[in-house]
């Protein structure tokens, strides 16, 4: 290597800032890798003495040539994981091949170039690994080349992982939107409304209405542990399991126990879900089972009936004891199903909102339509603080108001 003069630091950093800004751009999800590689060569190649960029994408353990920044192809069309060159780059993240024993037999430097070359691993999420290889010209300087290319490599690694995380959240949100009811059902003699809000982009709350017979409506509400894609997939499994079970006339206890076994078999033991499932008759009778969920409430002017758990949460154990319960919703009464994100709030005085606060707020608005009751409850709890100063929880409320005949 010659002792070529270092390029002007101010010019170098301005160029690096522009390049890193293009990589990190949220507007277009970051510039595509071939463009970045071409930009690297165009912006820094002459001064730092590197050229002939080759971009490879890994497919089934083989790195296939995807793009070349010049008209001349110098490196092979494909490189395998077993190639010592690839293993060296994977181990170190980037590597300058400059010693005679490091340079592979397949590399033949272009005329007027040094014998050395440099390679980078762009390591995104699983299934998204890339290699960039550049020839080195005479007079290249290790510190300059390493600083420039490693700066781009770190930024690209972060960008790929960041975009993958965003894509995962978008996928989870789409799954959740496709599963939750778009509107409350029409059920003669009842005014029904529901609302669910996730604390993050995607939460773990679920609810559903299932048409069983003309006189019978299935109700489900639950709270899956966690957030994001794992929670969305767990919500999907629970809702599909309930829909399929009751859809083929399985008894609710059998359906819930079978669903629990499937959840236990296919999820980690640390993932769990509480589920309330009931079958509401138009005349007010409610047959239900409650696997560790918050107690449903039957609220009248002067009484509150709690539909307490009839068994433990689902998921951690392969077999759970689960019983049925029965209740009657009188005319003029309100059946409220909710998740604990609603009640885990505190007033400005520091007292818990809790179930008593939810009952008070529902009673205060009991003369209103069900949709107004839901809106008023959410407006009230939004004005409260969450009991945890670290995170909030998802909130779901289902109101079923039985009309007086």
110-132 pLDDT per residue, tens: 888 888 999 999 887 666 789 99
Instruction: Give the number of residues written for the chain.
Output: 405
**pLDDT beyond 50 at 343:** yes
State whether 84 and 17 are in the same domain. Answer: yes
Residues 267 and 381 in one domain: yes
Q: Tell whether 4 is covered by a domain.
A: no
Burial class (CB in 10 A: 0-12, 13-18, 19+), 14: exposed
Output DSSP code: residue 290.
E
Listed residues 119, 153, 171: the one ending a domain: 171
Residue 254 structural domain: 180-402
Residue 35, pLDDT > 60, answer yes
Give domain status of residue 264, yes or no: yes
40 and 164 co-located in one domain: yes
Indicate whether 166 belongs to any domain: yes
| For range 236-240, the mean pLDDT | 85
Interhelix angle 252-266/228-247, nearest 10 degrees:
150
* 353 and 397 in a common domain: yes
Mean pLDDT of 292-316: 94
In a domain, 83, yes or no: yes
Report the pLDDT value the prediction gives residue 27, as an integer from 0 to 100.
Answer: 45
Q: Which residue has the tokens 């809106």?
A: 375
Paired with 325 in beta bridges are 288
Determine the average pLDDT of the residues in 237-263.
85
Residues 133 and 15 in one domain: yes
> Is 215's pLDDT higher than 70?
yes
Q: What is the CATH number of the domain that holds 360?
A: 3.60.40.10
Per the domain annotation, does 1 fall within a domain?
no
Q: Are residues 365 and 221 in the same domain?
A: yes
* Mean pLDDT computed over 250-256: 87
Domain boundary among 142, 171, 200: 171
Supply the CATH number for residue 41's domain: 3.30.450.40
pLDDT beyond 70 at 30: no
Q: Kindly state whether residues 137 and 184 are assigned to the same domain.
A: no
In terms of DSSP H, where are the helices of 25-141?
33-48, 84-92
**58 and 86 co-located in one domain:** yes
250/387 same-domain check = yes
pLDDT at residue 318 greater than cutoff 80: yes
pTM exceeds 0.95 for this model:
no
**Same domain? 221 vs 359:** yes
pLDDT in tens, 61-71: 899 999 999 88
Which position has the higher pLDDT, 392 or 49?
Answer: 49
Q: Assess whether 240 and 293 both reside in one domain.
A: yes
Arithmetic mean of pLDDT, 173-192: 83
User: CA-to-CA distance for 52 and 68, rounded, in angstroms?
Assistant: 7
Percent of the chain with pLDDT over 70: 86
Indicate if 246 and 312 belong to the same structural domain: yes
Is a pLDDT exceeding 60 seen at residue 391? no
In this structure, is residue 3 part of a structural domain? no
Task: Give the range among 144-158, 272-286, 300-314, 377-391 with minimum mean pLDDT.
Answer: 377-391
Among residues 171, 191, 213, the one where a domain terminates is 171
* Total domains, the chain: 2
Question: What is the chain's mean pLDDT, rounded?
Answer: 85
């Amino acid at each position: 290597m010659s002792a070529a003069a270092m390029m002007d630091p101010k010019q170098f950093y301005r160029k690096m800032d522009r390049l890193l800004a293009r990589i990190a751009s949220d507007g277009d999800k970051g510039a595509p890798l071939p463009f970045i590689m071409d930009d690297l060569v165009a912006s820094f190649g002459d001064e730092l003495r590197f050229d002939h960029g080759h971009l490879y994408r890994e497919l089934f353990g083989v790195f296939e040539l995807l793009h070349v920044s010049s008209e001349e192809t110098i490196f092979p069309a494909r490189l395998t994981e077993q190639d010592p060159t690839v293993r060296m780059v994977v181990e170190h993240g980037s590597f300058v091949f400059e010693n005679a024993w490091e340079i592979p037999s397949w590399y033949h430097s272009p005329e007027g170039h040094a014998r050395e070359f440099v390679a980078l691993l762009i390591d995104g999420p699983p299934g998204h690994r890339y290699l960039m290889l550049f020839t080195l010209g005479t007079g290249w300087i290790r510190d300059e080349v390493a600083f420039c290319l490693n700066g781009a490599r770190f930024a690209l690694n972060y960008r790929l992982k960041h975009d993958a995380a965003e894509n995962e959240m978008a996928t989870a949100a789409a799954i959740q939107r496709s599963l939750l009811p778009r509107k409350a059902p029409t059920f003669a003699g009842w005014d029904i409304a529901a609302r669910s809000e996730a604390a993050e982009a995607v939460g773990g709350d679920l609810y559903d209405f299932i048409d069983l017979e003309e006189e019978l409506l299935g109700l489900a509400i639950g709270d899956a542990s966690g957030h994001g894609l794992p929670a969305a997939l767990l919500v999907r499994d629970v809702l599909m399991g309930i829909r399929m079970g009751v859809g083929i006339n399985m008894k609710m206890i059998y359906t819930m126990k079978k669903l629990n076994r499937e959840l236990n078999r296919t999820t980690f033991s640390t993932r769990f879900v509480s589920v309330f499932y009931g079958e509401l008759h138009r005349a007010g009778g409610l047959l239900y089972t409650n696997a560790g969920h918050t107690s449903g409430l039957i609220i009248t002017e002067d009484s509150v009936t709690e539909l307490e758990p009839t068994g433990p949460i689902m998921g951690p154990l392969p077999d759970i004891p689960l019983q049925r319960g029965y209740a009657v919703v009188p005319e003029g009464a309100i059946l409220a199903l909710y998740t604990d994100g609603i009640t885990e709030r505190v007033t400005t005085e520091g007292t818990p909102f809790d179930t008593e606060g939810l009952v008070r707020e529902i009673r205060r608005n009991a003369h209103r339509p069900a949709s107004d009751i839901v809106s008023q409850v959410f407006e009230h709890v939004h004005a409260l603080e969450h009991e945890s100063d670290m995170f909030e929880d998802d909130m779901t409320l289902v109101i079923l108001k039985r009309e007086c005949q």
